[in-house]
């Protein structure tokens, strides 16, 4: 069962359940709708399905706002009736004074009641609009993250993480603010239309005088919209640049400090920050030029009302109550005019942010399941590489006709010089990338015909640069099997020779590691990564230099445990240490992306001089 989490600042409690990555997982069900994939639609039409999925909350907020404003619009007309119909009759007689005084009290009470109702509807509207706004923001952020998890490795090879972080934060916030508050601003503008209708009813000539400034406001709004979009795009792009620099410096802090480049990185960030400051300053200049016009042109209308209305009062063509109500309506019209300028600015920033978000959402993964893809069931582990060619993006060809066979239950080591394509072979087996030409098959099935989840369930991989999450060691090992018991986690850790150092940590398996696991040594991180893969118990195992950061003596103990675990399991070992090669029953020698020899370690030493040369080179690099 879930438990209740109450955050430190006293926000509302939320129900949640256990998260395999530590702490809790909210019961948030995810987005109810998807952003439209039709790139021919305007940006707001593409986001509209997400907004529409929260139409109940939006409806309550809009209706509440409309009713609140409608009640406020009634007040000036109520005051006009009081001034024009009730107050002039006071003082005619004792009885009329009492009667009219009672009427006056009634008018005051009615205005108070209307004001209280308007306030109540306003409170309801604000509560619903903010709750809905944050839910929309959560949906947009979830949709982006879901899409990122769907994209292939090639996308992350060419896109900076800081750019992605910026789009998932500041850009989403810009879109969310406009998408949620624009309807309320439109309600404000609609209320202005209703106020203008009251003005026409009261005195149509005076109403037309008050509206003489409207064409000028329209022209200012059009001009403002044209100049705001480019600077909004530049601002969001430069914020992303700052996020990229910060992300790189946080993740590369050890490199920065190793080369004493703190000052250079500070200058780099300062330059990016100055560019952001320039774009914000330009944005402020544009606002400073146009916002006063939008806000103060209605004041000209008020002056015209005073001029023409004053003459009408002097010549008894209008009453004081009429002029009073007109001025109050003009004050009400100022809010929509002010919000119109805000709506234009928010809209242009939201448009720029939305198009940056769509740059991600319109990306399609290179790795997709073919129509009719089927699950790999009961895999035996036979792997066949047939004339495989591969290159990263538009780079040089890495594999050139790579052909090899790995039999079920066999352990094969792939050996070669740096850059010969060893790790590339490992990445192709579970379709991190697709071959340029040729085929890779498992149990006779082309891996492109298999569903991705079933393929990656069958192929476990330990990378040479293991990644750990900032959670406990237990949760890191149990990442692939969140429901694994402590005994199962410890068994996997023992097999990877990690148990001894784990129990010596302050909180043992409950010790929380630092970001990326950097509170542990490289060898300790690799052993935890090995344990994580072993716990899943995949029928096919790929060790990509998985013991490269481990001391030779510790490596020997891990190999002793692995020898038993590799029985009846197809294993590909990317290796350069002789001790690691010893795990394999057969060695494939790779040179310039192609197989040049295959056999046992002893056979290759005796028959292939290149093999001994490669071993000598990699051994010297290891030392």
Q: Residues 544-588: pLDDT tens digits?
A: 876 655 666 666 666 665 666 677 789 898 877 777 787 788 999
Confidence bin at 172 (pLDDT 50/70/90): confident
Question: Where do runs of H (alpha helix) occur along 151-213?
Answer: 153-158, 161-166, 172-202, 204-210
The pair phi, psi for residue 534, each rounded to 5°, is -65, -30
Domain edge (last residue) among 330, 361, 392: 361
What's the whole-number mean pLDDT along residues 7-35?
A: 49
Residues 6+ apart with CB under 8 A from 535: 477, 478, 480, 481, 484, 488, 489, 492
Q: CA 351, CA 412: separation in Å to the nearest integer? A: 54
Confidence bin at 450 (pLDDT 50/70/90): very high
Residue 169 domain-assigned (yes or no): yes
Please state which of the ranges 198-212, 374-388, 441-455 shows the lowest mean pLDDT.
Answer: 198-212
| Interval 178-190: pLDDT, tens | 877 777 777 777 7
Is the same domain home to 50 and 14? Answer: no
Q: What pLDDT shows up at residue 87?
A: 59
Which of 483, 475, 385, 393 has the alpha carbon at shortest distance from 428?
385
| Interval 61-118: pLDDT, tens | 888 888 888 888 787 777 777 676 655 554 444 445 566 566 667 777 888 888 889 8
Bridge partners of residue 598, in order along the sequence = 588
The pair phi, psi for residue 151, each rounded to 5°, is -75, 160
Q: What pLDDT shows up at residue 395?
A: 81
What number of residues does the chain have? 623
Answer whether 0.75 is exceeded by the pTM.
no
Task: Please check whether residue 184 is in contact with residue 311, taking contact to mean a CB–CB distance below 8 angstroms.
Answer: no
Q: Does 23 score more than 50 pLDDT?
A: no
Is the same domain home to 434 and 471? Answer: yes
Please state which of the ranges 269-273, 327-331, 351-355, 469-473 shows the lowest mean pLDDT.
Answer: 327-331
Q: Does 433 score more than 50 pLDDT?
A: yes
What's the whole-number mean pLDDT along residues 160-175?
A: 78
Domain extent, residue 459, equals: 383-622
Is the same domain home to 280 and 204? Answer: yes
Q: CA 246, CA 296: separation in Å to the nearest integer? A: 42
Is the same domain home to 2 and 147? Answer: no
Residue 613 domain-assigned (yes or no): yes
Which of 514, 490, 42 has the alpha carbon at shortest distance from 253?
514
DSSP state of 541: E
Is the same domain home to 413 and 433? Answer: yes
For strands 540-544 and 570-574, give the pairing. parallel
What the block records as the tokens of 296 is: 């103060």
Please state which of the ranges 215-219, 372-376, 584-588, 619-623 shows the lowest mean pLDDT.
Answer: 619-623
Q: What pLDDT shows up at residue 557?
A: 62
What the block records as the tokens of 180 is: 């949620």
| Interval 356-384: pLDDT, tens | 888 888 888 888 888 889 999 988 889 99
User: Helix 94-150 vs helix 55-81: angle between axes, to the nearest 10 degrees?
Assistant: 160
Q: What pLDDT shows up at residue 177?
A: 80
Is the same domain home to 341 and 404? Answer: no
Confidence bin at 11 (pLDDT 50/70/90): very low
- Mapped onto helix, strand or coil, the DSSP state of residue 568 is coil
What's the whole-number mean pLDDT along residues 496-513?
A: 88
| Interval 371-422: pLDDT, tens | 889 999 988 889 999 999 999 877 888 999 999 999 998 989 999 888 888 8
Q: CA 320, CA 314: separation in Å to the nearest integer? A: 10
Neighbours of 528 (CB within 10 A): 24
Neighbours of 159 (CB within 10 A): 16
| Interval 339-352: pLDDT, tens | 666 677 778 778 88
What the block records as the tokens of 356 is: 């940056």
What the block records as the tokens of 491 is: 């068994």
Is the same domain home to 546 and 588? Answer: yes
Q: What pLDDT shows up at residue 390?
A: 92
Confidence bin at 13 (pLDDT 50/70/90): very low
Q: What pLDDT shows up at residue 84?
A: 67
Place of tokens 């784990």: 502
CA angle 114, 117, 123 (to 5 degrees): 140
Query: Residue 388: which H helix or E strand, with range?
Result: strand 383-391
- Mapped onto helix, strand or coil, the DSSP state of residue 40 is coil
Residues 6+ apart with CB under 8 A from 91: 97
Residue 149 domain-assigned (yes or no): yes
Is the same domain home to 36 and 120? Answer: yes
Residue 119 domain-assigned (yes or no): yes
3-state secondary structure 150-165: HCCHHHHHHCCHHHHH
Cβ density class 485-511: b for 16+ within 10 Å, e for less: eeeebbbbbebbbbbebbeebeeebeb
Q: CA 496, CA 283: separation in Å to the nearest integer? A: 57
Q: Does 274 score more than 50 pLDDT?
A: yes
Task: Please check whether residue 173 is in contact with residue 137, taking contact to mean a CB–CB distance below 8 angstroms.
Answer: yes
Q: What pLDDT shows up at residue 123?
A: 87
For strands 459-462 and 540-544, give the pairing. parallel
Confidence bin at 209 (pLDDT 50/70/90): confident
Bridge partners of residue 404, in order along the sequence = 385
Residue 13 domain-assigned (yes or no): yes
- Looking at the chain, the whole-number percentage of residues with pLDDT higher than 70 is 80
Q: Is 394 exposed, middle or buried (0-12, 13-18, 19+ CB in 10 A)?
A: exposed
Is the same domain home to 316 and 389? Answer: no
| Interval 126-141: pLDDT, tens | 888 888 888 888 888 8
Q: CA 277, CA 97: separation in Å to the nearest integer? A: 66
Is the same domain home to 25 and 80? Answer: no
Q: Does 300 score more than 80 pLDDT?
A: no
Q: What pLDDT shows up at residue 93?
A: 47
Residue 371 domain-assigned (yes or no): no
Neighbours of 23 (CB within 10 A): 11
Is the same domain home to 565 and 602? Answer: yes
Residue 372 domain-assigned (yes or no): no
Residue 373 domain-assigned (yes or no): no
Q: What pLDDT shows up at residue 2?
A: 35
Q: Supply the mean pLDDT for the chain.
A: 78
We report the CATH number of the domain holding residue 323 as 1.20.1560.10
Is the same domain home to 47 and 6? Answer: no
Q: What pLDDT shows up at residue 441?
A: 94
Q: How many domains, in total, are found in the chain?
A: 3
Query: Of 126-130, 206-210, 263-267, 294-298, which one has max mean pLDDT?
Result: 126-130
């Amino acid at each position: 069962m879930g438990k209740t989490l109450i955050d430190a600042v006293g926000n509302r409690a939320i129900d949640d359940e256990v998260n395999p990555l530590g702490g809790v997982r909210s019961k948030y069900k995810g987005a109810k709708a998807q952003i439209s994939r039709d790139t021919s639609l305007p940006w707001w039409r593409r986001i509209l399905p997400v907004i529409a999925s929260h139409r109940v909350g939006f409806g309550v907020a809009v209706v509440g706002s409309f009713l609140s404003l409608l009640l406020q619009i009634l007040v000036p007309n109520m005051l006009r009736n009081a001034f024009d119909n009730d107050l002039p009759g006071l003082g005619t007689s004792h009885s009329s004074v009492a009667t009219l005084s009672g009427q006056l009290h009634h008018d005051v009470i009615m205005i108070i009641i209307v004001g209280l109702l308007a306030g109540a509807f306003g409170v309801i509207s604000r509560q619903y609009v903010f709750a809905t706004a944050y839910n929309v923001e959560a949906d947009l952020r979830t949709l982006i993250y879901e899409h990122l998890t769907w994209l292939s490795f090639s996308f992350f090879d060419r896109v900076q993480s800081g750019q992605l972080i910026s789009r998932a934060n500041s850009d989403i916030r810009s879109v969310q603010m406009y998408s949620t508050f624009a309807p309320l601003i439109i309600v404000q503008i609609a209320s202005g239309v209703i106020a203008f209708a009251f003005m026409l009813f009261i005195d149509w000539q005076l109403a037309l005088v008050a509206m003489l400034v409207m064409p000028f406001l329209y022209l200012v709004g059009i001009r403002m919209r044209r100049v705001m979009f480019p600077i909004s795009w530049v601002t969001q792009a430069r914020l992303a640049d700052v996020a990229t620099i910060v992300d790189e410096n946080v993740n590369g802090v050890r490199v920065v400090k190793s080369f004493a480049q703190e000052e250079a990185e500070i200058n780099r960030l300062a330059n990016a920050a100055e560019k952001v400051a320039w774009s914000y300053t330009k944005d402020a200049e544009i606002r400073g030029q146009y916002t006063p016009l939008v806000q103060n042109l209605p004041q000209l209308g008020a002056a015209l009302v005073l001029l023409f209305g004053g003459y009408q009062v002097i010549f008894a063509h209008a009453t004081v109550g009429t002029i009073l109500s007109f001025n109050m309506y003009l004050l009400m019209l100022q809010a929509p005019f002010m919000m119109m300028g805000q709506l234009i600015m928010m809209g242009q920033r939201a448009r720029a942010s939305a198009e940056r978000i769509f740059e991600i959402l319109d990306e399609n993964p290179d790795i997709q399941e073919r129509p009719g893809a089927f699950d790999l069931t009961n895999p035996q582990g036979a792997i066949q590489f047939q004339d495989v060619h591969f290159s990263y993006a538009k780079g040089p060809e890495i594999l050139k006709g790579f052909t090899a066979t790995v039999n079920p239950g066999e352990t094969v080591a792939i050996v070669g010089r740096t850059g010969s394509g060893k790790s590339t072979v490992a990445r192709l087996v579970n379709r991190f990338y697709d071959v340029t030409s040729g085929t890779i098959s498992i149990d006779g099935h082309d891996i492109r015909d298999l569903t991705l989840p079933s393929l990656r369930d069958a192929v476990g991989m330990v990378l040479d640069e293991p990644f750990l999450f900032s959670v406990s060691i237990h949760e890191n090992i149990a990442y692939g099997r969140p429901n694994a018991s402590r005994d199962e986690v410890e068994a996997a850790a023992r097999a990877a020779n990690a148990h001894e150092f784990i129990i010596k940590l302050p909180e043992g398996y409950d010790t929380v590691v630092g970001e990326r696991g950097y509170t542990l040594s490289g060898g300790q991180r690799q052993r935890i990564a090995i344990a994580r893969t072993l716990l899943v118990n995949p029928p096919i195992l790929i060790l990509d230099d998985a013991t490269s950061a481990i001391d030779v003596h510790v490596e020997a103990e891990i190999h002793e445990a692995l020898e038993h675990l590799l029985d009846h399991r197809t294993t590909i070992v990317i290796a350069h240490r002789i001790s690691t090669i010893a795990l394999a029953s057969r060695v494939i020698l790779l040179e310039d992306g192609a197989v040049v020899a295959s056999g046992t370690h002893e056979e290759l030493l005796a028959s292939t001089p290149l093999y001994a040369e490669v071993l000598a080179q990699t051994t010297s690099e290891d030392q």
